[in-house]
A and B are shown apart, each in its own frame.
Chain A
Amino acid sequence: ETGVTQTPRHLVMGMTNKKSLKCEQHLGHNAMYWYKQSAKKPLELMFVYNFKEQTENNSVPSRFSPECPNSSHLFLHLHTLQPEDSALYLCASSQIRGSISYEQYFGPGTRLTVT
């Protein structure tokens, strides 16, 4: 596997279900991100992990719970979601070094539908 992978690619869940999205990066990066992309909205940053520590939580509802067990893996645990949470969820990774902003590399995304 190369780059950033995400599973599953598609997910349909009811509002009472619990599911998890998985992301894995094979680039040796030390930062990972979760983004939400809804129709007709800009990409929204949800969470940032830098060296496995969460450094940003962009006022995301508690029904989204991230987990970063190591610098290569990132999870997004979902529970009691709402229909408006239906979106494409993108994972990304990048290198953090000094004061330089390196580019983020994205996975293919998980298309989530909440029914």
Chain B
Amino acid sequence: AQKVTQAQTEISVVEKEDVTLDCVYETRDTTYYLFWYKQPPSGELVFLIRRNSFDEQNEISGRYSWNFQKSTSSFNFTITASQVVDSAVYFCALSVRNSGYSTLTFGKGTMLLVSP
């Protein structure tokens, strides 16, 4: 069975601070995919990144960066110079291939509050 743990329930920062959201996953599969989604107050989950288990290269996209470490089963997400618009719930998710389709196992999410 798969499991995703986001230990931080809520994080509050002041604008321009850097913030890291933690994600730890469990799976016995050797091939898997990791995702991050953002859910603003409007409710829609917005896809941010997909990473497969064979690619441990860190990724940077603007103010966002992701640190994938298989040795610790972690896929952490850092927002640099946070902005008020970054306030949202962020979900980490894990997918393994399963008989013709893929399903996502989500963590419980981390609510990020960025104040001016």
Taking Cβ atoms with an 8 Å cutoff, the residues of A that contact B are 31, 33, 41-43, 45, 48, 50, 55-56, 88, 90, 92, 94, 96, 99-109, 111
| Cβ-based interface call for B64 (8 A) | no
User: In the complex, what distance in Å separates the CA atom of A42 from the CA atom of B31?
Assistant: 23
CB-defined A-B contacts under 8 Å, sample of 6: A42-B106, A45-B103, A50-B101, A100-B52, A103-B47, A106-B44
Taking Cβ atoms with an 8 Å cutoff, the residues of B that contact A are 31-33, 35, 37, 42-47, 50, 52, 91, 95-97, 99-104, 106-109
- CB distance A101 to B33 under 8 Å? yes
Q: Choose from A41, A88, A90, A96 the contact partner of B102 (Cβ within 8 Å).
A: A96
Min CB–CB distance B48 → chain A (angstroms): 9
User: In the complex, what distance in Å separates the CA atom of A31 from the CA atom of B50?
Assistant: 17
- CB distance B43 to A88 under 8 Å? yes
Specify the main secondary structure of chain A where it touches its partner.
strand
Q: Which residue of B lies closest to A48 (CB)?
A: B101
Q: What 11 new A-B contacts, CB under 8 Å, besides A45-B103, A96-B102, A103-B50?
A: A33-B103, A42-B107, A42-B108, A55-B99, A56-B101, A101-B95, A103-B35, A106-B44, A106-B47, A108-B43, A109-B44
Q: Which residue of B lies closest to A110 (CB)?
A: B43
User: In the complex, what distance in Å separates the CA atom of A50 from the CA atom of B52?
Assistant: 21
Min CB–CB distance A105 → chain B (angstroms): 6
Residues of A within 8 A of B47 (CB): 103-106
Min CB–CB distance B45 → chain A (angstroms): 4
- CB distance B96 to A101 under 8 Å? yes
